[in-house]
Amino acid sequence: MRPVYALSGGVSKFAKTRQDKNFQAVTKEAYDYAIQDLEIDFPTFTSIVDGSVASYFSDHFTRQLMAAIMAQDYLGLCPKPSHRVEGGGATGGICFQEVWKSIASGHMDVCVAYGFETMSHVETWKGNEFIALASDVSWDYPVGGFYSGYYAMMVTRHMKEFGTTVEQMAHVSVKNHINAFSNPYAQKRNRYSIEDVRNAVMVAWPLTRLDICVMSDGAAATILASEEGVKKLEAAGAKIPRPLVKVTGIGRGTDAMRMSDRPHVDYDTFMQDYATEQEKADDGTRKYYKGLWKKGTRYPGVHSFRAGRTAGNMAYKHAGISDPLEELDFVELHDAYTSSEIQTYEDLGLCRYGEGGPFAESGKAHLSGIDYGVQLPEKPVCPVNPSGGLIACGHPVGATGLMQAVFALWQLQGTIKKHFDDDALQVKNAKRGAIHSHAGTGTYVTVSILEQEV
Amino acid sequence: MAKLPDRRPETLGGYIVHGVPFPVETDPDSLAFLKQMAPLQIEQDYKITYLHSYGQDSPWFAAASNKKLLASRDPESGYAYATPRGHDMYSGKETEWIDITETPAHIHAFTVCYFGSEEFLPETPFVLCQIEFEGINTLFLARLFGVDPNEPSLDWIGMEVKPRFLRNSKLKPTDVYFLPA
C-alpha cells in the first residue's frame, strides 16, 4: 500500500434547511472551498483529479435515485470514475476510507471524497421515520421505529450496569455545544448548562432534546492524494502546507442490524477478541473487567459497540498506536447522542468499559482555555469533538464523516484560525487525531487516523 | 384526418402556482436580479404499498396470531435467538423452532418515547423494551404496558414480565407485547 495524504477540505454551512440551493450546489460549496484552499484554479484541478467517491445516506430524503451522479455532474467531474457508498451514519467515514483505498492501491493519485444530505425536505417526524427504516423493517421498525428510542434503551442498560448518570451525559452536550460556539460551520452555536440539558424537552427517556443531534442540510469534501498526486498538484501550482497530513490507519467494524441479536460474550472471549492491547497488558484492567463480569456484565450486549471497538483496534494497529488516550491529540467522534459519545469513549479505549460516564465529566475530553461553566477535576488530555461534534454542528448524514475529516485535517495543519476566523478550537501542537463514523445501532463503524508526517 | 391536439390539457390543482413574481422584461439587469430570488418550493407526495414477505420468519407470525411465542435455536450448539433467525450466525446451519411462550422473561433495557417517527406519533408516550428470556441468548424488542410512562425508573430493568397477544392479529411483531408478571 502507498502512503495517502489528506491535502484539503471544505464544509458547507450546516443548517436546518438550505432551500437556497439544491444538493448539488451545496456540495459544490464544499468542493470549491477544498480546491481554493489548494490555491489552484478549478479547471486545473479538474484536469488532475483522477476520480471521486460520493457519500449520501438516504434516497428518501432527496426523493431522487442516483443523486450521486447528479453531484458528480454538477462538480464537473464527468466522465471520471466515481461510485456512491452508503452505510447509514457511517457513510461519510466509509467514503473517506474508499478514497484512501483508491489511492493506497495505486489506482488513483488524486481522488476526492464528497458527501451531502438534504434532510429538510420532510418534517422532522417524517425524517425520523426515514432514519428508522435503517432498522429491520420486519422486526424493529414496526415496534416503534425511532432511533432516539433505540439509543435511549442502550443507555438505560449502561446506566444500570455501570452507574452512568444523566448529568454525565449532559456534560457531553455542554462541552460540544460550547465548542461549537467558536465554529462558524456549526448549526447550533449556543452555550448551555447542565440544567439546560436536563430541563430540555424529554424525547426518549432519559435523552432530552439537547442530548440528541439535529437533522441538517449540508455537504463536505476532502481531497486525498498519493506522493505522486502531491507532486502533480504542486507542479500545477497548488500550495500544500508542510508538514503533510498522512492517513496512517484505517479500521472498520460491523455488528448485527438488530441490536437484540448482539452477543453477550464471556470474559475470556472479550479479552481475546475485543480487548485493546493496553487492556490485555494491564493487570489492574484485567482485574477490573473480571469484576464487571462477576457482577453480570456481558459484551457487547446493548450497552457497547463491538463494531466501534473492532474498528478502533484495527486502525490503532495500522497506525502503531498502543495507548490512544495519550497518543491521540484529539478525536472527532460520532456523537449522535451524548450517550453514544460516552459509549464511544469506551469503544475507542480512551477509558475502560463502564468508565465513560466519569470520563465525560473529568475534563480529559475538553479543550484547554475554554470556559465550560462547570468544574472539571482534571486537565484536558485528548479533546473529543473540539469542533462541536454532531450534537452542535448538525448531522447531514452523508456529509458528517467527511466534515470530521476536514476539521481533523485543519487541526493537524494548524489552520483552524484561518478557516474558523478564531483559534479558540485549535488543539495546541496537534500531531495526530482520530475520526470515528458510526451507523445504525452500531452496525458499521469506521475509525481513521490522520497525523502530521514526521 | 382529425386535428391533432396542439395544447396539453390543463387542470386546476397539482403543482400550479398562480402569479409567481418575475421581472416583466428579461433585460440583463432584470436577469442579474434573479440571483436574489428566494427559492420556490413545491409539495411532492410519495406513497407506496409494499408487498412485504416475512420469508423464512413467517412461522413466528403465524404462531403469534395463535398466541404462541416462538424462538429459533441452533440444534447442535443450542444457541437460541429470541428474535428468530433462519440460520445460526456461528455454525451457519439452519435453526429449529422452539416455543418460549412460558419461558420466564425480564426487562433487559427500556425507554419511554415521548416523541417518535410520524407513523408512531399518535401512540406516544409508549414504552420500548428489550426482553431477555431465561436460557435464550439474544433479546427481543417489544412494547411494555402496565407501567406508568410518566414515571420511568431504572428499577424496571430486571422486572419479570409476561407476554400478552393481540386478540386480532396484525401479523406484526407487535402482535405480542409484555406486561409486568
Residues A425 and A284 reside in one and the same domain: yes
In a domain, A43, yes or no: yes
Please, what's the b/e burial string for A137-169 (b: 16 or more CB within 10 A of its CB; e: otherwise)? ebbbbbbbbbbbbbbbbbbbbbbbbbebebebb
- Supply the DSSP symbol for A62: H
In a domain, B88, yes or no: yes
The C-alpha cell that represents B50 in the structure block: 409494499
A74: confidence class by pLDDT, cuts 50, 70, 90: very high
B41: confidence class by pLDDT, cuts 50, 70, 90: confident
CATH code for the domain in which residue A265 is found: 3.40.47.10
Residues A384 and A426 reside in one and the same domain: yes
Place of cell 452496525: A443
Type of residue numbered B35:
K
In a domain, A423, yes or no: yes
Place of cell 493506497: A104
Residues A303 and A406 reside in one and the same domain: yes
Q: Strand (E) positions, A57-153?
A: 82-85, 110-118
Q: Residues in chain B, how many?
A: 181
The average pLDDT across A353-375 equals 97
Q: What is the pLDDT of residues A386-409, one digit of tens each?
A: 999 999 999 999 999 999 999 999
Tell me the C-alpha distance between A250 and A254, whole Å. Answer: 14
Asked if A446 and A259 count as a contact pair (C-beta separation under 8 A), the reply is no
Residues A24 and A60 reside in one and the same domain: yes
Residues A268 and A353 reside in one and the same domain: yes
Range of B89's domain? 77-180
| Among chain A residues, CA nearest to B57 | A138
How confident is the model at residue B17, as a pLDDT?
67
DSSP-H helix ranges across B46-114: 58-64
- Interfacial A residues in 285-344 facing B (CB < 8 Å): 302-303
Say whether residue A138 is in contact with chain B using an 8 A CB cutoff: yes
Burial class (CB in 10 A: 0-12, 13-18, 19+), B17: exposed
What is the share, in percent, of chain A residues with pLDDT greater than 90?
A: 99
Tell me the C-alpha distance between A88 and A426, whole Å. Answer: 30
Inter-chain CB proximity A129 and B139 less than 8 Å: no
Residues A220 and A313 reside in one and the same domain: no
How confident is the model at residue B15, as a pLDDT?
59
In a domain, A266, yes or no: yes
Asked if A235 and A227 count as a contact pair (C-beta separation under 8 A), the reply is no
Q: Kindly report the nearest CA distance between residue B34 and chain A, in angstroms.
A: 13
Phi-psi region at A283: left, alpha or beta (left = phi > 0; alpha = psi -120 to 50): alpha
Q: How far is CA A331 from CA A113, A262, A325, A405, in A?
A: 20, 26, 9, 10
In a domain, A49, yes or no: yes
Q: How far is CA A14 from the centre of its chain?
A: 15
Q: Which of A62, A141, A205, A265 to mutate to test the interface with B (most CBs of B within 10 A)?
A: A205
In a domain, A173, yes or no: no
A287: confidence class by pLDDT, cuts 50, 70, 90: very high
Residues A354 and A421 reside in one and the same domain: yes
Q: What is the pLDDT of residues A328-348, one digit of tens each?
A: 999 999 999 999 999 999 999
The average pLDDT across B132-146 equals 98
Residues A100 and A18 reside in one and the same domain: yes
- Choose among B57, B118, B140: nearest Cβ to A129: B118
Residues A241 and A254 reside in one and the same domain: no
In a domain, B9, yes or no: no
Q: Are strands A110-118 and A51-55 parallel, antiparallel or unpaired?
A: parallel
Tell me the C-alpha distance between B181 and B162, whole Å. Answer: 5
In a domain, B33, yes or no: no
Q: What is the pLDDT of residues A191-221, one digit of tens each?
A: 999 999 999 999 999 999 999 999 999 999 9
Range of A228's domain? 5-122+216-245
Q: How far is CA A291 from CA A16, A158, A272, A353, in A?
A: 46, 16, 17, 12
In a domain, A427, yes or no: yes
Q: Which of A64, A66, A43 is nearest to A54 (CA)?
A: A66
Helix A338-347 crosses helix A166-180 at what angle (to 10 degrees)? 100
Residues A233 and A290 reside in one and the same domain: no
Is pLDDT at A272 greater than 90 in this prediction?
yes
Tell me the C-alpha distance between A392 and B54, whole Å. Answer: 40
In a domain, A156, yes or no: no
In a domain, B171, yes or no: yes
The average pLDDT across A148-158 equals 98
Q: How far is CA B114 from CA A135, A204, A243, A339, A419, in A?
A: 19, 6, 50, 18, 39
**Residue A125 with chain B: CB contacts under 8 Å:** 115-118, 121
Is pLDDT at B12 greater than 90 in this prediction?
no
**Structural domains counted in chain A:** 2
How confident is the model at residue B13, as a pLDDT?
66
Other C-beta atoms within 10 Å of B90: how many? 11
| Among chain A residues, CA nearest to B118 | A125
Q: Which of A368, A306, A443, A407 is nearest to A9 (CA)?
A: A407
Q: How far is CA A272 from CA A279, A281, A318, A320, A432, in A?
A: 11, 12, 19, 19, 28
How confident is the model at residue B44, as a pLDDT?
83
Phi-psi region at A318: left, alpha or beta (left = phi > 0; alpha = psi -120 to 50): alpha
- Choose among B39, B57, B157: nearest Cβ to A138: B57
Average pLDDT, rounded, for chain A: 97
In a domain, B68, yes or no: no
Tell me the C-alpha distance between A6 and B41, whole Å. Answer: 38
In a domain, B48, yes or no: no
Residues A241 and A338 reside in one and the same domain: no
Is pLDDT at A291 greater than 70 in this prediction?
yes
Tell me the C-alpha distance between A31 and A180, whole Å. Answer: 22
How big is chain B by its Cα radius of gyration, in Å? 28
In a domain, A29, yes or no: yes
Inter-chain CB proximity B138 and A159 less than 8 Å: no
**Residue A129 with chain B: CB contacts under 8 Å:** 117-119
Which helix (H) or strand (E) is B96 found in, with range?
strand B96-99
**Structural domains counted in chain B:** 1
Is pLDDT at B52 greater than 90 in this prediction?
yes
Place of cell 478514497: A99
How confident is the model at residue B46, as a pLDDT?
83
pTM metric for this prediction: 0.96
Q: What is the pLDDT of residues B54-95, one digit of tens each?
A: 999 999 999 999 999 999 999 999 999 999 999 999 999 999
- Interfacial B residues in 115-154 facing A (CB < 8 Å): 115-121, 123, 126, 128-130, 137-143, 152, 154
Is pLDDT at B14 greater than 80 in this prediction?
no
Tell me the C-alpha distance between A393 and A217, whole Å. Answer: 11
In a domain, B104, yes or no: yes
Is pLDDT at B18 greater than 90 in this prediction?
no
Residues A318 and A220 reside in one and the same domain: no
Inter-chain CB proximity A157 and B108 less than 8 Å: yes
As beta bridge partners, residue B107 has B131
In a domain, B87, yes or no: yes
Tell me the C-alpha distance between A259 and A440, whole Å. Answer: 9
How confident is the model at residue A151, as a pLDDT?
98
Please, what's the b/e burial string for A334-344 (b: 16 or more CB within 10 A of its CB; e: otherwise)? bbbbbbbbbbb
Is pLDDT at B16 greater than 70 in this prediction?
no
Tell me the C-alpha distance between B168 and A360, whole Å. Answer: 48
Type of residue numbered A303:
H
